[in-house]
Amino acid sequence: MSNRTFQALVVTETEPKKFERTIETRSTDDLPPGDLLVRVLVRLK
């Protein structure tokens, strides 16, 4: 896969059972081999 960037929802456990969600720009090079990248299209009415 060529090096492309995408917006990712990243969830981090900051303490046991406490999570922080952020939107981060990531690169396809950050994905482990064999991982799947899914494009989601959203239509708001």
- Highest mean pLDDT, choosing among 5-9, 22-26, 28-32: 22-26
Stated length of the chain: 45
Per-residue DSSP letter, 31: S
The pLDDT value given to residue 17: 97
For residue 30, what pLDDT is reported?
A: 87
**Average pLDDT over every residue of 17-37:** 91
Average pLDDT, the chain: 90
Q: What's phi and psi for 28, nearest 5 deg?
A: -60, -25
pLDDT (0 to 100) of residue 1: 55
